[in-house]
Structure 1
Amino acid sequence: MPEIMRLAFKYKLRPTRKQEQAMRNFSGCCRFAYNALLAQEKEEYQEYLEELESRLCWGEALSKDEVKALCVKPKLNQYTFNYALKKLKEEYPFLKEYCHSQVLQQKVMDLYEAFKKFFKGNGGYPKFKKRHSDDGFRYPQGFKVEEDNGRIFLPKIGYVRYRNSRKIEGIPKNVTVRQEADGWYASIQCEFELNNH
């Protein structure tokens, strides 16, 4: 059975001013959604820790199962995060207006994964995203790469030209768009089979 590998191909984008503004809007919306949901979760986690401390300080007679349940934060659920994003979009309509829904969902998925790592003891508590150091977004699907024309289609942004510095190999699976010091870049993650012959 062939082994499946993933490899990223990075290209410098050549967006128009309008496209660049749209990319900045996408990044800002993603950062806003991530930080808003992180603030909500942080508040809930703080309340949970205070309740735990209060019950332990008052020396309530708790069974072993109750102590165990109290000492482990309730399992995070991906759907809870998606629901929280839905409510956030209702409260802040600009998120719908200026950003693609899949891009926001991907950013919320990043937050969910960060919390999963934290509660498993594999990482620190998630940190708030800062402007300029965290300017980027990801499409899991819906984008199209036209290598012959040197352009990539990004939903809700349009066809963006890129410097075709090397040929893409494999099947494009997702694309991450990120701003760096010298401009915007697209990193296209591709999947291909390794033939072990």
Structure 2
Amino acid sequence: MQRRQAFKYELKPTGEQQRNLRRYAGSCRFVYNKALALQQANHAAGEKFIGYVAMAAKLPVWKREAGQAWLKDSPSQALQHALKDLDKAYQNFFAKRADFPRFKRKGSGDRFRYPDPKQIKLDQRNNRLFLPKLGWIRYRNSREVLGELRNVTVSGKGGKWFVSIQTQREVEQPTPTATTSIGIDLGIARFATFSDGTWLAPLNSFISYTKRRPRSAKTTRWCSSKICR
């Protein structure tokens, strides 16, 4: 069966890469908030909800708007995925699985994703990762990444940056362990009759029965603390 797993590491960016990480996270936050504001204004005007495809078509226009040319410096797919995150947030709200989407604040949950594995390169031997617009960036390799790379999410917290590498691989499906069970039928003539054919005498004669029979783990298990000494 297919198993998806995420491997998280701390990044070791250079000074320039740190600045770019902040810029890219800020660009994705800006796009998310701009799209959310547009959705709210659209709703207030009585218009229909803007789906992801229509919203993504506005992204090239925003890049050409005055004072927003800096959006061109950020990875395009990361910006597009920010719009997908907003669309997913709305779908969860419509399905009553989450609250209404909120605007993102600087320094609160800074993150962005590279969804296309073809644009990503992983060099585990040299503890480095290639990401579009960032180039080769080093990370603290604490364990081996297993499986085929699917996507990469970069996040910042407390002045540090981290990378979550999601992979997919084939694993064996666990087989249930066979267990043996024995049924018990309680009665008068026989105190207990087991499905394997063995039985215990009625309670009144059970005391004398246990005195005559050597102690065993099987017998003791069915005795009460008041009967067995």
TM-score by length of 2: 0.71
Q: Separation in 2 of the partners of 1:150 and 1:189?
A: 16
- Match for 1:101: what amino acid? S
Q: Separation in 2 of the partners of 1:18 and 1:40?
A: 33
Q: Name 2:164's counterpart in structure 1.
A: 187
Q: Separation in 1 of the partners of 2:57 and 2:93?
A: 21
The reply on whether 1:93 has 2:91 as its aligned counterpart is no
Q: Which of 121, 144, 165 is residue 144 of structure 1 equivalent to? A: 121
Runs (4+) of structure 1 moved beyond 3 Å? 73-76
What whole-Å deviation, never above 9, does each CA across 1:62-107 have from its counterpart, x for those lacking one? xxxxxxxxxxx846422111112222222121101x2010110111
Conserved 8 A contact 2:39-2:50: no
Q: Separation in 2 of the partners of 1:43 and 1:123?
A: 21
- Match for 2:95: what amino acid? K
Segments of 5+ residues of structure 2 without an aligned counterpart are: 175-229
Conserved 8 A contact 2:39-2:49: no
Equivalent positions of 1:29-178 (< 5 A) are 29-48=27-46, 74=48, 76-91=50-65, 92-96=68-72, 98-141=73-116, 142-178=119-155
What whole-Å deviation, never above 9, does each CA across 1:90-137 have from its counterpart, x for those lacking one? 2121101x2010110111110111111112222211100111112111
- Match for 1:89: what amino acid? K
Tell me by how many angstroms 1:143 deviates: 1.3
Pair member with larger Rg: 2
Higher relative contact order (Cα pairs below 8 Å, separated by 6+ residues):
1
Percent identical residues: 38
Conserved 8 A contact 1:9-1:189: yes
The verdict on how the C-alpha distance between 1:29 and 1:75 changes in structure 2, with shifts beyond 3 A counting, is closer
Conserved 8 A contact 1:37-1:85: no
TM-score by length of 1: 0.82
Segments of 5+ residues of structure 1 without an aligned counterpart are: 49-72
Structure having the larger proportion of residues in helix:
1
Q: Separation in 2 of the partners of 1:180 and 1:172?
A: 24
- Match for 1:9: what amino acid? F
SS at match of 1:169: coil
